[in-house]
Amino acid sequence: MSTVEERLARLEALEDIKMLKHRYFRACDGKDPAAMRACFVAAGADIFYGPALGGFDGADGLVDVYSRIALQRAGDGYVILDMHHGMHPSIRITGPGTATGAWTLRFRQVDLRARTERVTALDYDDAYVVEDGEWKIAKCHVKTLWSIERALTDDVKVVQ
């Protein structure tokens, strides 16, 4: 039987991991590569984002690709607009300072240059570790469940 202190520490860890993942989603949508990078371990993150983006042996490569795609500008606005809705977390504390997690993501992306909208359902398979006193993402593998892409018609106006 766990003590109250152990149970409280477990609940705090679960909440900290949820907040970590939400910071990651917000950084992606907010076009903040530094905040996105800060969600991952300092070195050696195991990242795989499927056939479209591929795999990375650390977060720096992912952040570089993200920056080149997400931060493109045309005039006063961005070319690519993203919306991440992470839900259904299933997080398991596996040991002192280690955990695994699965998430469902509903992702929407508007590409103003191509005049397309994409809606995608994805699953995340994550691992987390405590590094320098904070939970960080050590592994992040993404599997696409399905995706729909459609053209934006001429009457669609996107405001930023």
- Per the CB < 8 A criterion, the answer to whether 146 and 110 are in contact is no
Say whether 61 sits in a helix, a strand or coil: helix
Looking at residue 139, its amino acid is K
> What pLDDT is recorded for position 58?
96
Which domains, ranges and CATH numbers included, belong to the chain?
Answer: 4-151 (3.10.450.50)
> What pLDDT is recorded for position 138?
98
Query: How big is the CA angle at 142 (ends 47 and 132), to the nearest 5 degrees?
Result: 45
Confidence band of 51 (pLDDT split at 50, 70, 90): confident
DSSP letters spanning 5-52: HHHHHHHHHHHHHHHHHHHHHHHHHTT-HHHHHTTB-SS--EEE-HHH
**Residue pLDDT, tens place only, 66-105:** 999 999 999 999 999 999 999 999 999 999 999 999 999 9
**Residue pLDDT, tens place only, 17-37:** 999 999 999 999 999 999 999
DSSP 64: H
**Residue pLDDT, tens place only, 110-135:** 999 999 999 999 999 999 999 999 99
Strand 46-48 relative to strand 134-151, pairing = parallel
- Per the CB < 8 A criterion, the answer to whether 72 and 78 are in contact is yes
